[in-house]
Chain A
Amino acid sequence: MGTRLGKQTLRLDSHPVIQAWASIAGAKEGNGPMGRYFDEVVQDEYFGEKSFEKAESKFIRETFAKILMKGNVSAGDIQYIFSGDLLNQCIAASYGIRETEIPFFGLYGACSTMAESLILGSLMVEGGFAERTVCITSSHFCSAEKQFRFPLEFGSQRPPTAQWTVTGAGGVLVGNSGNGPKIVHVTTGKIVDMGITDANDMGSAMAPAACDTITMHFTEAGLAHNYYDMVVTGDLGTHGKNICKQLLEENGILIQDILDDCGTMIYDTTVQKTDCGGSGCACSAVILTGYLLEKLSKKDLNKVLLVCTGALHSPSAIQQGESIPAIAHAVGIEMIP
Chain B
Amino acid sequence: MKQKRTKNEYVEWTQKIAPKTHKLKNIILAFIVGGIICTIGQVILSLLLKTGMLKEDAASLTTLLMIFLGAFLTGINVYDNIGRIGGAGAAIPVTGFANSIVSPAMEYKKEGYVMGVGAKMFLIAGPVLVYGIVASIAAGILYYIFTINI
Contact = CB atoms under 8 A, between A and B. Distances in A.
A51 interface: yes
Most A C-beta atoms less than 10 A away, residue of B11, B26, B82, B90: B11
A238 B14 CA distance: 12
Contact of B19 (A146, A207, A238, A323): A238
Contacts of B11: 194-196, 204
B14 A154 contact: no
A308 B38 CA distance: 47
A327 interface: no
A50 B10 contact: no
Interface in A7-56: 50-51
A157 B26 contact: yes
B18 A201 contact: yes
B12 to A, nearest CB: 10
A233 interface: no
Interface string B9-33: 0110011011111000010000000
Contact of A195 (B8, B17, B80): B8
Contacts of A238: 19
B102 to A, nearest CB: 7
B-side interface mostly: helix
Given A155-B82, A195-B10, A150 B124 contact: yes
B82 to A, nearest CB: 6
B14 A151 contact: no
B130 interface: no
B4 A161 contact: no
Contact of B1 (A153, A195, A251): A251
Interface of B: 1, 3-5, 7-8, 10-11, 14-15, 17-21, 26, 74-75, 77, 79-84, 86-87, 90-91, 96, 99-100, 102-104, 106-108, 110, 123-124
23 contacts: A51-B110, A151-B107, A152-B106, A152-B107, A153-B75, A153-B77, A153-B80, A153-B102, A154-B100, A155-B79, A155-B83, A155-B91, A155-B103, A157-B83, A157-B84, A194-B3, A194-B10, A201-B18, A208-B3, A208-B10, A211-B1, A212-B1, A275-B19
